[in-house]
Amino acid sequence: MASSRAFEMLCIVLLGLGQMCIFTGYDTQSFVAESVLHSVNSREPTRIDAFAGYYGQATCSAAYMTACLFAPSILRILSPKWTLFLGSLCFTVYQIGFMYLNNVYYYSSCAVMGLGFALYYSGHGAYLTSHSTRKTLEQNSAIAWTIACLCMIVGGGILAGIFSLNSDLVIPASLLNVTDALPKHGAFYRQFSDSEIRMMYGAFAAVTFCANLIFALTPSREIEDCIEGKHMKIQKTFREEMSMIRDIFADKRMITLSPLFVHLGLYTSFWVCVYPTSLVFTKSLSAHIYLPAIYSLAVGVGEVVSKFGC
């Protein structure tokens, strides 16, 4: 019994560590992505769109929404472990693209990352239930998410370290010449140099690659008495799965919850993209280079503390 519980805990901890590595890269980079892309556009307007960060996030969300319809079918074919691995690989593809930014690769990688989101969350739920019993599910879920929420703290540390290494090179746009400071949008904001961008996204790509390794090496064997294992699954055709999804959309309980889901979508877009971007795009704050790192650290501490209160 003790060894079985130890194996269960090993799987749950690895699941949390993998998620932490994925979102150390994704969530943290989301705080600066629009500012980074805007900086590149101010130097090379034909290379990337000025508001590519927002357009890319919209592309990712649309791909995520669409891929959620097909992710369960892929999960059935690949198994939870390899679905997690494939999903995490999509995030690595996205991070690498910032080494050599261009419109085609960036928007394509955003769509790929949307697919990665759908695969990852499908695999996450399946892996958690196949390595938890009804008695341990709540505890295991709390452990996995507490470890995962450390991503904001780790990401804040990465940003702070890179910003400190480049502090002598940081020049707010308002201090550059007029042509650079006021592109065609007339905004004052902090500029990110190409070397700083490569350092940030190189670090994020390396951390995300660690997630790829973790999920590739994670045990796939299920525990005894798990909530949902291979032997408990009812095989369904793709047509039957689509029919079930259609029926769920029409369920009164799902319709009742829809306003909450809309609110969560808007709120997530706000705290991940809009608010942190304003810390860099606001004229009076653009010189305070550590604000995104402090914001990431504060959000991470809040998320970890909240998990202990659950």
Q: What is the pLDDT of residues 94-109, one digit of tens each?
A: 999 998 889 999 999 9
Mean local confidence (pLDDT), 268-292: 78
Among 176, 159, 158, CA closest to 39? 176
CA distance 12 to 5: 10
Please check the confidence at residue 203 and state whether its pLDDT lies above 50.
Answer: yes
Q: What is the pLDDT of residues 15-55, one digit of tens each?
A: 999 999 999 988 888 888 888 888 888 888 888 988 888 89
156-179 burial, b at 16+ Cβ within 10 Å, e below that, comes to bbbbbebbeebeeebebbbeeeee
Q: What is the pLDDT of residues 61-118, one digit of tens each?
A: 999 999 988 888 888 888 899 999 999 999 999 999 998 889 999 999 999 999 999 9
DSSP, residue by residue, 66-86: HHTTTHHHHHHHH-HHHHHHH
DSSP, residue by residue, 224-268: TT-SS-GGGPPP--HHHHHHHHHHHHT-HHHHHHHHHHHHHHHHH
Among 51, 55, 57, CA closest to 38? 51
